[in-house]
Structure 1
């Protein structure tokens, strides 16, 4: 049985304990589900701020899996779950300036990294959704980081591929197809330079194929996760290294989609005889 130990050494068996974001991601909440305890007993324990200054979580094997702090009592409620009465206790993260600044910094970077949670405390469905969000974030960061592209006048250069970069490069590509004229752009860390039409098309095609590869890969991950019932296998999935160990069915489907997408991207340039 999973266990929670409060700062005053009070112990409770817990059915579930999940940490999640609240208030548009500006705060975290910690939600615990209990059974076989009275409402008064849990109120006495969790409404005392000194008791919840530090909360320790232990898994069913008795191993310490998480220590949380900086939480305040939020609310407590009774709900019928799975045919019995459960008591749900919610803690809310305190207002801490440094955490607010960190959250804002993540928004500035336009990369929403999911909150780390205790996988040992999750149901199979919760774990699947959590792994999807974590792996999706890693996929997005990989795409935004971009790729190296060989250009005729400047050799190998690195181009990031954030959402703004994608719009800029797609605009360059469209103008190049219409006007057949050179255009200014810049690689990462480089000053603005003039690129010929073929180089602009090459930059666009390389980065689009790079994006296609990773979006197809994460789709394969999502399909695979839906079919997995082995919790240890789910916990061990990482992006993109785990893909090589996927069953061949998922890899064949992804490879076919990538090949078709690449053909379409290449055909776009061929139509304009570039």
Structure 2
């Protein structure tokens, strides 16, 4: 806990740096020896928002949260019915799923031969070129849809919530919330173009 003398020294130093045009919230953010409560106590003297609770911080935190949710949705992959059985195919970049599926698709298209792969929890088996094409198209379409949705939701947050009093609305945004207005129109337009591009690339 800060003594009054220590507090006064910090306030005096902060006032000097504030007068010099520095962002003292960023300055105090780097003070590892001060607790969050002590930092907030000093900042409150200048009527500044607590570190991590201003609009910019909240929007940035929310966008990071939504980005992680987008990545998780993409990597969860898609479910396809193959030979009458529903099979789940993850699409993780770090585990190599995205590169593997793309490579197998192009190899099967070039050779016309089945290629070995496996669904989630399944054993390795041969998939026909048509099956691999269906898988690749489904995964890429799903990935493009998720990325487009995230980008439009991010744009909605940045353009709609521009005042400090909007913070509760920013915090309430969740991945999966429906898009509306121009953001939905943009999503539909981009999604249609993405689907057309994927179809063209997948044709021999």
Structures share a fold, TM > 0.5?
Answer: yes
The residue aligned with 1:252 is 185
The residue aligned with 1:234 is 170
Asked if 2 retains the 8 angstrom alpha-carbon contact of 1:228 and 1:234, the reply is: no
Q: Does 1:88 align with 2:88?
A: no
Q: Following the alignment from structure 1 to structure 2, what is the Cα–Cα distance between the partners of residues 198 and 175? A: 12
Residues 233 and 120 from structure 1, CA distance in 2 versus in 1: closer, same or farther, beyond 3 angstroms?
farther
Alpha-carbon displacement from aligned partner over 1:3-62 (angstroms, at most 9, x marks no partner): xxx6xxx8xxxxxxxxxxxxxxxxxxxxxxxxxx96623789xxxxxxxxxxxxxxxxxx
Q: Following the alignment from structure 1 to structure 2, what is the Cα–Cα distance between the partners of residues 224 and 39? A: 46
Q: Following the alignment from structure 1 to structure 2, what is the Cα–Cα distance between the partners of residues 42 and 140? A: 46
The residue aligned with 2:150 is 218
Structure 1 residue 249, shift from structure 2 partner: 0.8
The residue aligned with 2:6 is 40
The residue aligned with 1:170 is 102
Q: Following the alignment from structure 1 to structure 2, what is the Cα–Cα distance between the partners of residues 216 and 232? A: 25
The residue aligned with 2:59 is 128
Structure 1 residue 154, shift from structure 2 partner: 5.3
Q: Following the alignment from structure 1 to structure 2, what is the Cα–Cα distance between the partners of residues 135 and 268? A: 29
Root-mean-square deviation (Å): 2.9
Q: Does 1:148 align with 2:79?
A: yes
Q: Following the alignment from structure 1 to structure 2, what is the Cα–Cα distance between the partners of residues 184 and 258? A: 30
TM-score by length of 2: 0.76
Residues 39 and 257 from structure 1, CA distance in 2 versus in 1: closer, same or farther, beyond 3 angstroms?
farther
Structure 1 residue 82, shift from structure 2 partner: 6.8
Q: Following the alignment from structure 1 to structure 2, what is the Cα–Cα distance between the partners of residues 263 and 248? A: 23
The residue aligned with 1:199 is 131
How many residue pairs end up in the alignment?
176
Q: Highest relative contact order (Cα 8 Å, sep 6+), 1 or 2? A: 2
TM-score by length of 1: 0.57
Alpha-carbon displacement from aligned partner over 1:83-137 (angstroms, at most 9, x marks no partner): 7895837236xxxxxxxxxxxxxxxxxxxxxxxxxx9952111111111111101
Structure 1 residue 235, shift from structure 2 partner: 0.8
Residues 82 and 225 from structure 1, CA distance in 2 versus in 1: closer, same or farther, beyond 3 angstroms?
farther
Q: Following the alignment from structure 1 to structure 2, what is the Cα–Cα distance between the partners of residues 84 and 265? A: 51
